[in-house]
Amino acid sequence: MRLRLPRLRPLSTLAALAGAVLVLPALLAPAAAADKVTFGTNWVAQAEHGGFYQAVADGTYAKYGLNVTILPGGPQANNRLLLPVGKIDFYMGANMLQAFSSVVEGIPTEIVAAMFQKDPQVLIAHPDVETFEQLKTRTLFISKEGLASYYQWLVAAYGFSEKQVKPYTFNAAPFLVDKNSAMQGYITSEPYAVEQQGGFVPKLFLLADYGFDTYATTIETRTELVKQNPDLVQRFVDASIIGWYNYLYGDNTKANALIKQDNPEMTDAMIAFSIAKLKEYGIVDSGDTKTLGIGAITDARIKSFYDKMVQAKVLKPGIEIAKSYTTQFVNKGVGKELAPK
């Protein structure tokens, strides 16, 4: 009697079956949940925050494994206070003066990216003003905060005088009435109001173009998060950078819709004006960003601004400014391919 031996399966078949056994649980397992992140801004929603809204609207944050909630600031909100205590994960800083102040006060936060290479602070003048020097002959409407910061630099670097200053109340009317005056503002905002209310195109003098070289619209986070979860910080920074490239140079329709949703007073005309000024003056993409990418930070720029503030007696010498920022997450050329050639 002939014995019938069981037929053996080829090794390749067994390997395939084993592979299927291993793959099946992976297919059935739920996808990893995105990391929840809260980003607090320093003012109400506007085009100046557009890159962050873009990264939400077009899914860039989601692609980087992030579920981002934008918490708008405003006159009744101080989101910066929420950062050190862990109520938010990232904060939109104004300029480097705040970061230096945190070092002095022992607040463990630091700047991880600078979305604005130029501070939008501008002096707005009537059409007859031809040069920056002529502003020294005008009455200047300057806020209390401005007088204590950039105006002291104007005094030290250009010979402006506090005697020519009158209080700025965030209202263009006094400037419009006084033809021999100029007023402070943001290049992306107040000039639009002047054009609408005054019926003329004002002369604009962007302080960054005259040496006020602080970074602005920074991304700030806790030093603890930088040390304990650098991957999360990197993903948020990279996605935000890509958001800014797409907002400036791509289809920003959905981002603008989110901005208007968070700020119903915002109009399409105001947004269009702001975007145009961001591009015209190179607020986001200029200088170092052409080689290092949006968000760039350099030690030389930080030191330059700090030295100017010490000279103007806005800050004291000896501050450990290296604690105020890190270049760990920027200067990698992320998203540069999205810029116009």
Dump pLDDT digits (tens) for 283-309. 999 999 999 999 999 999 999 999 999
Where a domain ends, among 151, 181, 210? 210
Q: What CATH number corresponds to the domain at position 183?
A: 3.40.190.10
User: What is the Cα–Cα distance from 116 to 244, expressed in whole angstroms?
Assistant: 10
Angstrom distance (rounded) from CA 273 to CA 192:
7
Asked which of 180, 210, 240 is the last residue of a domain, the reply is 210
Tell whether 247 and 308 lie within a shared domain: yes
Q: How many CB atoms lie within 10 A of CB 163?
A: 6
Q: 22 pLDDT exceeds 70?
A: no
Residues 42 and 140 both lie in one domain = no
Q: Given the DSSP bridges, would you call strands 35-40 and 90-95 parallel, antiparallel or unpaired?
A: parallel
Q: pLDDT by residue (tens digit) across 77-89?
A: 889 999 999 999 9
Residue 27 lies in a domain: no
Same structural domain for residues 102 and 219?
Answer: yes
Residue 18 lies in a domain: no
Give CA–CA dist 86/97, Å, rounded.
22
- The rounded percent of the chain whose pLDDT value lies above 70 is 91
- 205-226 average pLDDT score: 98
Judging by DSSP bridges, how do beta strands 181-186 and 66-71 pair with one another? unpaired
pLDDT at 23: 43
What DSSP element (H or E) covers 19? helix 11-28
Final residue belonging to a domain, choices 165, 188, 210: 210
Domain count, the chain: 2
Q: Identify the domain containing residue 158 by its residue range.
A: 121-210
Are 330 and 265 within one domain?
Answer: yes
Q: What is the pLDDT of residues 150-206, one digit of tens each?
A: 999 999 999 999 999 999 999 999 999 999 999 999 999 999 999 999 999 999 999
Kindly state the average pLDDT of the residues 39-58.
Answer: 98
Structure tokens at 4: 């019938």
